[in-house]
A and B are shown apart, each in its own frame.
Chain A
Amino acid sequence: MNRKGNMIMETIIDLVIAALIIVAFFSVNFKLEDNTLFDQKRTARELALTIDTLTSAPRPVELMVTEEKGQSVKINKEQCLVNVRSTEKELIPTSFDCGNNNFLIEEERKEGERTKFTFKT
């Protein structure tokens, strides 16, 4: 390859590398702007720790849970495990534990968008 050909080749490779960096930067930036996974984690912890707080509250006590837009919340009553998953995106669901042997739900009732949990005395 002559000198001119070499220079063109080098320029093309430089441009490809630069393009790769730019694409990587924008894809990472796009990923960071998305708070869905963080929100999942936050909701699971918030609810599990609220249930833990209720452990030391005078009974009977009621807890109203409103599912946030794009989230589905499930509570495993036996293990006291709060599980949150996204209904809009394909993401790994997030779980968080609450105190498992004092979690006695007497009633679970849907009231419009909210779910009401009544804890046993």
Chain B
Amino acid sequence: MKKGQIASYIEWTLKLIPVFIIAVFIFVIASKQINAPLETHPLEAKLTMNALKYHCLILEKERPQLGVIDIEKFTEDKIKKCYSKNELGYTLTLLNKEKEELKKIKNFPSLNHERILPVCETIPEYECATTEEFILIYNKGTLEPSFLKLEVVNRVA
């Protein structure tokens, strides 16, 4: 290869570098803007908690008792029938006032969701949230203070 040809290649490469940088810049800005995320995951976690607390598990006597859950309804089968979503899995734990586990229910649309829950912060495709709320349990005619813990994993991508 002649010296002149090498110089010509170098010259063209140098000229193309700014073009390449501008093209990448435009592409990055455009793709970020077009795929702008709609962060609804925290809201979905909150709505899941509300649906479970105020609908699936609520104690119903003459009328629904807000903030009181019926221990009889706390079964995996009933919960799965009551509230499930295709891309959302959750673990619901009932804790006593000393925060000791009383009962635990899992409802995952796929095994993948269950596996991801402990490590979901490291996987961008999934989002997790944990909420804990004070409630009263109705158990054999008595009310006991306790906590309801909800761990949600949601596929967002």
Contacts and interface: CB of A to CB of B under 8 A. Distances in A.
B86 interface: yes
A97 B85 contact: yes
A32 B51 CA distance: 37
A28 B29 contact: yes
B45 to A, nearest CB: 11
B19 interface: yes
B30 A31 contact: yes
A interface, size bucket:
20 to 34
Contacts of A99: 48, 51, 83-85
A20 B26 CA distance: 12
A49 B84 contact: no
Contacts of B65: none
Interface string A42-67: 10010001001101101000000000
A49 B40 contact: yes
A53 B47 contact: yes
A21 B51 contact: no
A63 to B, nearest CB: 15
B26 A25 contact: yes
B10 to A, nearest CB: 14
A32 B34 CA distance: 7
A99 to B, nearest CB: 5
B143 interface: no
B36 A38 contact: yes
Given A17-B19, A49-B47, A102 B38 contact: no
B82 A102 contact: yes
Interface string A20-39: 11001100100110000110
A101 interface: yes
Nearest to B49: A56
B29 to A, nearest CB: 7
Interface of A: 14, 17, 20-21, 24-25, 28, 31-32, 37-38, 41-42, 45, 49, 52-53, 55-56, 58, 79, 81, 97-102
23 contacts: A20-B19, A21-B19, A25-B26, A31-B30, A32-B33, A37-B34, A41-B38, A45-B38, A52-B44, A52-B47, A55-B47, A55-B51, A55-B83, A56-B47, A56-B54, A56-B55, A58-B64, A97-B85, A97-B87, A97-B88, A99-B51, A100-B84, A100-B85
Given A58-B64, A97-B87, A99-B51, 6 more contacts: A49-B43, A56-B51, A56-B53, A97-B86, A100-B84, A102-B55
